[in-house]
Every structure is written in C-alpha cells, then in structure tokens.
Structure 1
Amino acid sequence: MKKFSTHVGIDVSKSTLDVCILKAEGMSVVGMSVVPNTQQGIRRVFRELRHLNAYGDDTLFCFENTGVYSVPLCLCLSEAGLPYWEVPALEIKKSKGITRGKTDRTDAQDIARYSVRSLDKFKASSMPEVEIQRMKVLFAERDKTVRALKLFESTTEGAAFLPPSIYKSVESQNRKTIAYLRKALRAIDAKIRGVRERNEPLNAQYNLLRSVPGIGDVTATYMIIATGGFKRFGSWRKFACYSGIAPFQYASGSSIRGKTRVNHLADKKMKSLLNMAVLSAVKHDPELKEYYERKKHEGKNPMLVLNNIRCKIVSRAFAVIDRASPYVNLKKFAA
C-alpha cells in the first residue's frame, strides 16, 4: 500500500472548489482555500502546493464524484500526471459518523481525513477513454429523448375520451413533435454506432456481448459505458453488485433473520436493462427457458429465478469478453 505524505481534500461544486491540504503525519491542516472550478483555479491550487513543497507523486487528491462538475479537475490532474481518487459521495457521507451542520469548508476537511483513514481502499482513478465519454453523453441524450417520446405519445390515449374538436387542437402539433423526436432518436443512435465502430476494441466488445442471448443493442452499449470498456470491474460478481442484482443476507444475532435480498443501491438504468434482457433470454434461449420452468416447478419464487438468470447473463457477458470469443450455446450440441 502506497503512503502519501500530503492529502488534498476537495469539495466540488458547480462554480467553486473548496480545498483542504492535510499532512498525513499528525492529521494537521496546512492550507485551506476556495478557488473557481476552472483550469485557472486548479492551477492556483498547484501553485500553493509547490509553495508548501507538496506538489508531486507524494500528494494524493481526493474528491467526490459529482458528475460533470468534477470533469475539469479530473482533466487537469490527468494531464499533470498526479494521483487522484474519485470517491462516491455516499461512501464519504457514511464514513463521517455522527455530524451536526454542514459547510463546504468542513466537507473538504472531511474528504481529506477520509483519504488518510481509508488509504487501504485506495485505487487510483483515471479518465475514461474519449470514445466512452462520447458514448456516455450521447446515451444520456438518447435516454432523455426516449422519455420525451413516451410522454408525447401518451397524448393519443386521450383521443378516445375527448371530443374530436378538442383533440384536433393538439393532434397536428403532437404528431409533428413525435416525428421530430423519432428522427432525433435515429440520429443519436447513428452517432453512438459511429463512435463505437471507429474504435476497434469497443466494437469487438459490442459484437461479443451481442452474441449472448438476451443482450441487445442498447444493453450492450450501456454495459460498455458502465464498465468503462470492461476495465472498472475485476469480476462479474462486482458488476452484479453495482447493477443491484447481487443478493445480500440480513441477519444479526440469533433473533434477526431477514430475507436475503438485493440492495437498492445500484445503477438503476443497468438494472432496468438487465430486466429486459432476462425476459428476452427466457423467451429465446432454450437453456434459460428450461432452467426457469424447472426452478418454478420446484416451487422457487419466480422473481428469485429471474434474478438468478440476470446473474447468469452478466457472468456470460464477462466470460465472452475475457475469452475474446463469442458465446456458444452448448445445449444444442447435447445428445
């Protein structure tokens, strides 16, 4: 485990960065500042660290993952070759214990202290590939377009209940909006496909994932984005936990024996796509269909069986990527 002499805790907001510079020895704060959330502001932090003789590989930057707000900081640190640790906000919040009150200044100090105390968990963060970032942004736009399309399509449900003269007042505009959104959706899909096809490794991963029964175009694309090109997770079990399909026990002492359940902390989009994948797999994959019917006949809860199949699909996805060969259904070769 690498030791760092200086830890920099940064509370990231839209317009500013609250910075706390902490010496690991004695947990003493040697600097506090507020800078703009821009490249110029981040360079001011670098100058302050140089003044303290704390600029280099011996200094660890730690901050919460705040989506697009933390991108400028990640870019500057990556370009400077400095080690940084982007941590989920919930993990830092739960590590603070009982607290009263909250300010950006104290949050920066808490992040710096978390960096020192949790160094055994440290895993250096890095910027995803440019192509994956582009796919992520495009997929987010696709998601918003799909939601808008469903919202406008729901207007037609009122046609059977409203007088024709009233419904016609919105029918023409609604039809034009739906046509525009469908055209926009096709354009976004084409851009995502273009980004993927221009990157040979990502396109190869996509084709391997599509060979797994149940995994379609959207699921394969989002799985590549969520896994960072299958670099973020060491095993399919860790990804199953991230996706909210890994079951966990709930027990304490001799009296509390709760049901084994999946946890609500998950990537809800990935979980939703896996739900669709399992329905398709049970319908079209004879092996999984036979497994589902057999377990259901044994009296197992259908939702439990479906969740087991979700885990099977994820394990198959990671297997084809690890082997770099398409999925082969061995059941069709059985005697």
Structure 2
Amino acid sequence: MQTTKYFIGFDISADDFSASCITSPDNPVFSTQKFLNNFDGFNEFISLVSKHSIKQSEVIICMEATGVYSENLSYFLASKGFTLCIEAPHKIKNKTKDSPRKNDFIDALSIAEYTYRYTDKLTFWKPKDEIIEQIQVLLSTREHLTSQMTANQNALKTLKYKYYQTPLANQIYEKTINKFKEHIKQIDQEISNLIDKDDSFKNKISLAKSVPGVGLLLAANLLVLTKGFTEHLNYKHTAAYTGICPYEQTSGTSLHKPPRSKKCGPAKLRKLLYLAALSVRTHNQNFKKYFLRKVAEGKNKRLILNNIENKLLKIIFAVINSGVAYIENYKSINPALLKTA
C-alpha cells in the first residue's frame, strides 16, 4: 500500500467547487482553483491532477457533507479510484483555525490542512448500493407525502366544523388526501419490490420483521442506516446515534440529574421505534408485563417506553447478527454455567 503524499480539500457549492492540494500545511502543490460542479468541471480537475503527476493511490480528498451538491462529484471520483472522505461541517470548523476572512479558496485550503492533520481520524467514504440509495429516496419521499397528507386532513377537519360549508373545497381536499394515500401505497410496494431484488436484503428484512412491533418501515430505515445491515451493528452505538440512549448527568455533589436521552439524530427512526414500543406494550404479553411491573415500581411511563425502544433495537440486531428469527419466550444460557454442568 502506497503512502499518502497529497491532501486535497474541496469547498463545494451548487454551481462550482474549489480545490486546494498540499503535501503539508507549508507546501502547497497547486493553489486553490475553482471548477464547475458538473462533469466538464470534474474532468478539468482530473486533468489538473494528472498535470501534477498525482496518482489516485497517493491522495486523500476531503469535502464537507453538502448533500446533493457533492453527490455527483463523489461518485465520479470514486469511480476513478480516489480515496474520499466526507466530513460533517462542524467537525472541520471546530478543528481548523479561525480566520478573519472567509471565501471558497480559504475554506478549501482549510479542509486540505484538516485532512493532513487528522488523517488517522478520517472515515473513508464508499458509494452506496443502488438499491439502498433508492430505498432511502423513497423513504424520504414517503415521509414528505405523509406530512403533507396530515396537513390536508387537518385542514379538511377544520372546514367541516364551519357553519357555512363549501363543498368544492371539501372535495378538493378529499381528492388530494386520496391521491396521497395512493402514492404512499405505491411507495410501500416499490420498497418491497426493491428489497426482494436482493436475497441478502430480503433475508435480513425478514429477520428484522420477525421481532414484535417491527414492520416494513422500521426495518427499511434500519437497512438504510446500516447500509444493508453490514455496518454499525452495535445496538448501543445505534441507540446513541438515534437519540434514545440515556446519558448520565452528575458532577461532584451539586449536580445529580436523572439520566436522559438527547433526542438528537434521525427523528424519523426515533418516531418509528417509539411507535413500535407502543405497539408491543399493548399487544405483546412479555413487554406488557414488563411495562406494568415498572409502572408499579413508580417508574415514569415515557422512561419505560424508552427502555422498550432500546430492548427492541437490541433484539433486532441480535437476530440479524445470529441469522435466527425471533423466538418468543427464548431464554439465553450463560456459557459459564454450561462448563460447570
């Protein structure tokens, strides 16, 4: 494996991107240059790299996470064999020195210096599977349509309470709501079809759905989050990322707050876990007994539901990692007890 010699920082906007290349903070290879954010600009950047005899295996390219603005460029460079790193903007900002001036050229150079200084801390980016990418888009579209449908349902409910009724307005809202329901149903079917195209995804989604309270939406969101259940399969890490992990808040003798979850991370996934917890609390005997027992102990009901969310997440990842579907009333045996038996 060749040693990294070059560090390139990108500052990306909707129309263009700036690139700066260094071998160390005091040794620039080429000064910051600007390129169009399209395939002509991408090829122009490749020509500049070739002009300086920079090999793909000798360079790390770093950019801020800018959503769709950097997507085409990322996939293009990955197809050319470059090593990429896409970092959260706040991480770069917190690690780089403040400057009284700010422009695209200064930002690109700062990102290049950040790449040089924190090479050992970087997480390298890999292109997503096409099916995973399509499912993610469909889930986002579904969430957007659902929120719009809810808004229309609330508006229609308000109109029906009015003294003077306006039939045309009611009909428009009713037709719009029915159209939203039709589109959401189509999205659910397409998500199922995409999952069925990949045997591995199909099997793992089936395992996840064997857990009480887990449906297609929750399983599909976890599939996207874990990139096909291949990464981040530690349930504690996922719970922390989702915002349902309680954190201790104590300091000395003055601060003794009860542990609380941060409620950060993806709200959509957190909502689905909450709904799953509500479902098993009502319909699953084991979770229902657990909930009632904790209520009898004086525990807060929302705290108990949060515990159930964590338990569900733990069970989902357990069945995925083991490859065995959920077994009702299963009891694990401590391996140490088997040795002494």
Instruction: Give the CA deviation at 1:26.
Output: 4.2
1:125-164 equivalence runs, <5 A: 125-164=125-164
Instruction: Check 1:258–1:52 CA distance in 2 against 1; reply closer, same or farther (3 A cut).
Output: farther
Identity of aligned residues (%): 26
Q: Distance in 1 between matches of 2:100 and 2:130?
A: 41
Specify the SS of the correspondent of 1:60: strand
Q: Which amino acid aligns with 2:55?
A: Y
Instruction: Give the CA deviation at 1:94.
Output: 2.8
Q: Distance in 2 between matches of 1:256 and 1:321?
A: 40
Q: Which amino acid aligns with 2:176?
A: T
Whether contact under 8 Å (1:11, 1:64) holds in the other structure is yes
Matched residue, 1:301: 300
Matched residue, 1:7: 7
TM-score of the pair, normalised by structure 2: 0.89
Q: Distance in 1 between matches of 2:211 and 2:89?
A: 34
The unaligned stretches of length 5 or more in structure 1 are none
Q: Which amino acid aligns with 1:176?
A: K
Matched residue, 1:216: 215
Give yes or no for the alignment of 1:287 onto 2:286: yes
Whether contact under 8 Å (2:233, 2:317) holds in the other structure is no
Instruction: Check 1:278–1:3 CA distance in 2 against 1; reply closer, same or farther (3 A cut).
Output: farther
Give yes or no for the alignment of 1:73 onto 2:73: yes
Matched residue, 2:115: 115
Q: Which amino acid aligns with 1:70?
A: S
Instruction: Give the CA deviation at 1:247.
Output: 2.1
Instruction: Check 1:114–1:318 CA distance in 2 against 1; reply closer, same or farther (3 A cut).
Output: same
Q: Which amino acid aligns with 2:33?
A: S
* Deviation digits for residues 41-67 of structure 1 (CA, Å, limit 9, x no counterpart): 122222222222223211001112222
Instruction: Give the CA deviation at 1:284.
Output: 2.1
Whether contact under 8 Å (2:2, 2:57) holds in the other structure is no
Specify the SS of the correspondent of 1:330: coil
Matched residue, 1:207: 206
Whether contact under 8 Å (1:138, 1:192) holds in the other structure is yes
* Deviation digits for residues 151-193 of structure 1 (CA, Å, limit 9, x no counterpart): 11112322443134x4323012112212222211212222111
1:50-69 equivalence runs, <5 A: 50-69=50-69
Length, aligned pairs only: 332
Please, which moves more after superposition, 256-265 or 74-83?
256-265
Matched residue, 2:310: 311
Instruction: Give the CA deviation at 1:91.
Output: 2.1
Whether contact under 8 Å (2:22, 2:29) holds in the other structure is yes
Instruction: Check 1:214–1:155 CA distance in 2 against 1; reply closer, same or farther (3 A cut).
Output: same
Instruction: Check 1:233–1:183 CA distance in 2 against 1; reply closer, same or farther (3 A cut).
Output: same
Please, which moves more after superposition, 230-239 or 213-222?
230-239
Whether contact under 8 Å (2:201, 2:228) holds in the other structure is yes
Q: Distance in 2 between matches of 1:190 and 1:252?
A: 51
Matched residue, 1:276: 275
Q: Distance in 2 between matches of 1:212 and 1:100?
A: 54
Instruction: Check 1:293–1:127 CA distance in 2 against 1; reply closer, same or farther (3 A cut).
Output: same
Q: Distance in 1 between matches of 2:264 and 2:3?
A: 31
Please, which moves more after superposition, 36-45 or 123-132?
36-45
Instruction: Give the CA deviation at 1:272.
Output: 1.2
Q: Which amino acid aligns with 1:228?
A: K
Whether contact under 8 Å (2:234, 2:317) holds in the other structure is yes
> Over aligned residue pairs, what C-alpha RMSD do you find?
2.4
Instruction: Give the CA deviation at 1:14.
Output: 1.2
Specify the SS of the correspondent of 2:166: helix
Whether contact under 8 Å (2:242, 2:263) holds in the other structure is no
* Deviation digits for residues 101-123 of structure 1 (CA, Å, limit 9, x no counterpart): 53222222222222222222222
* Deviation digits for residues 213-241 of structure 1 (CA, Å, limit 9, x no counterpart): 11112111111112211223141211112
Q: Distance in 2 between matches of 1:36 and 1:253?
A: 55
Q: Distance in 2 between matches of 1:242 and 1:300?
A: 25
